[in-house]
Amino acid sequence: MEAYGTILNIVMPIFVILFLVEKVVEWYRGANVIRGLDSVSSFSSGITNVVKDVLGVGISVITYQWLVERVAFTHLAANSVWAYLIGFIVVDFQGYWIHRWSHEINFLWNRHIIHHSSEEFNLSCALRQSVSSFINYFTILLLPSALLGIPTQVVAVIGPLHLFLQYWYHTQLINKMGIWEYILVTPSHHRVHHAMNKEYIDKNYAQIFIFWDKLFGTFQEELPEVPPVYGVTRPVQTWNPIKINFQHLWLLMQDAWRTRSWWDKVRLWFMPTGWRPADVVEKYPLDSIKDVYNFEKYDTKASSALIAWSWAQMFFNYFLLTYFFASLAKIGSPGIFYYGGFLFLAIFAYTELMDRNPFAVYFEAIKSALGLYIIYQSGGDWFGAAQNWGLWFVYLVGAYFVVSVLMTVVFVEREIKGVFQTDV
C-alpha cells in the first residue's frame, strides 16, 4: 500500500506535465481537443480511482499467489529477465480479455463505462478509471504465468507499469507511427477504440500489443474518410465521476426490478452490453445517439471564473491526495479510509457545482463542516499533518474549507439561480 502510494506520487506529476504539454501543442496547432470542465472531470475521476486502488477496496475470487502455489511446475527467479518479459506478455493477454468482456457483457460494462464517458479524446480522459470494480474475477487468465511460477512480486510490479504505459496513446495530436502500428497500440489504434462510429465501435481492445486484436479478430484500422467521434451512445450527461461509475449498474437494477419476466431479471446481467428486456424498453425508453455526426456534446454553462475555480478545486484535492499517499503509514487504519472517503465527498461536491446543481452548496457545506470538525477533534491537526509537514498545512486546509463554501455560494447564486450570460 505505502509503496504504491509512493509510486503514484512520482507518476502523477508526470501525467499532469504531459497533459500540459498536450495543451501547449493543441494551442500551437490551433486544434480543439481539450475542454476545461471535461478535463477537470477526468482528473477528478483519476483521483477517485487511485484512492480506491491504494486502499485495496476489493477482493479477488482467486489470488495469483494461490494459483501459483497450486499449478506451478517450475519457478522463474524474481530477478530473471524472462520472468518480467513473460509476465508482461501474460498480463497484457489478461488485459485484452478483461477489456473485451467489459465491453461485451452487460454487468461488466459498469466497470468500464467511466473510461469511455468523455466526449473528447485527450490525455486526461486516460485517467477516467473505475471505482466500481470491487471484485476481480479474472486472475485465472494469468494461468500461463502461474504455470511457470513467475513470482507474485514480479506480477505486482508489472501491474502498475502496464497501466501507466496506457496513458500516452490517449491523444489526437499524434498521427500514425509507421512500423509501430504493427506491434504496439498507438494513438491511432486507440482513437478507433474510443470512437462510437459504427465502423469502429467495439474494436481494438488491446492495451500494449496490438497483435491480440489481429489474432482474435477485433482489429480495425483508423480510416482517413471516417473521423472518430468519441463518447458512449447513451451519454452520461454529468461531470460527476462517482455518478458515472454507478450509472449503468443503477439502470440494470431498475430494469431487473421493472421487467415482468423472471428469466429476463436473471439474464439481463449476462446479455450483450446494452440489452434490455422488451417490456422495459417499451415502457421506459432511453435516449441514445442515433447519428454520431450530429449530436450535442454534454456541456454546462460556466463562466471563466467557474472553470478556473473548478481547476483550483481539483488541484487542491490533488494536493490533499499527495499528502495522503506520502503519509499512509503514519495515518494508519482506519484513518486512511476516513481520508479516502473525505476525498470522494469533496470530488462529488465540486463536480455537482460543475453540473449546475443548486444543491452543490449543501454538499460543499457538509464536506467543509466535516473537514473543520476533523481538525477540531484532532486538537488542531489534519491527519497528523501538523507533525509531519507543519502547522501551515493545517491552516491552509482549514482556510480552504471556509473559502470553498463561500465560493460555491457565490457561484450558485450568480450562475445557477441568477440570470447569467456565459462568457465562454
Parent domain of 35: 2-216
Please list the residues that pair with 209 across neighbouring strands.
184
Q: Is residue 258 part of a domain?
A: no
> Other C-beta atoms within 10 Å of 72: how many?
16
Q: Last residue of some domain: 184, 216, 248?
A: 216
Q: Is residue 42 part of a domain?
A: yes
Grid coordinates representing 345 are 465527498
Kindly give, in sequence order, each residue whose CB lies less than 8 Å from that of residue 42, ignoring residues fewer than 6 positions away. 118, 124, 125, 126, 127, 128
Which residue shows C-alpha cell 501474460? Answer: 90
Q: Which among 113, 121, 356 is positioned nearest to 243, based on CA atoms?
A: 113
Q: Last residue of some domain: 162, 181, 216?
A: 216
Q: Which helix (H) or strand (E) holds 21?
A: helix 2-29
Query: What does the pLDDT profile of the chain (424 residues) look like in tens digits?
Result: 678 888 999 999 999 999 999 999 999 999 999 999 999 999 999 999 999 999 987 788 899 999 999 999 999 999 999 999 999 999 999 999 999 999 999 999 999 999 999 999 999 999 999 998 888 889 999 999 999 999 999 999 999 999 999 999 999 999 999 999 999 999 999 999 999 999 999 999 999 999 999 999 999 999 999 999 999 999 999 999 999 999 999 999 999 999 999 999 999 999 999 999 999 999 999 999 999 999 999 999 999 999 999 999 999 999 999 999 999 999 999 999 999 999 999 999 999 999 999 999 999 999 999 999 999 999 999 999 999 899 999 999 999 999 999 999 999 999 998 744 444 4
Q: Is residue 31 part of a domain?
A: yes
Burial class (CB in 10 A: 0-12, 13-18, 19+), 109: buried
Grid coordinates representing 101 are 468482456
**Distance between first and last Cα of the chain:** 42
Domain match, 7 and 144 both: yes
Q: Is residue 228 part of a domain?
A: no
Half-sphere exposure of residue 2, counting CA atoms within 13 Å on the CB side? 8
Q: Is residue 363 part of a domain?
A: yes
Q: Is residue 256 part of a domain?
A: no
Q: Is residue 72 part of a domain?
A: yes
Instruction: State the chain's maximal CA–CA distance in angstroms.
Output: 71
Answer whether 54's CB lies under 8 Å from 5's CB: yes
Distances (CA, A) of 319 to 37, 314, 315, 334, 413: 19, 9, 6, 21, 28
Burial class (CB in 10 A: 0-12, 13-18, 19+), 303: middle
Domain match, 194 and 324 both: no
Q: Is residue 357 part of a domain?
A: yes
Give me the pLDDT at residue 1, please. Answer: 67
> Other C-beta atoms within 10 Å of 286: how many?
12
How many separate domains does the chain show? 2
Domain match, 37 and 157 both: yes
pTM of the full structure? 0.94
Q: Last residue of some domain: 183, 216, 249?
A: 216
Amino acid at residue number 44:
S
Q: Which among 242, 363, 237, 217 is positioned nearest to 295, based on CA atoms?
A: 237
Answer whether 244's CB lies under 8 Å from 238's CB: yes
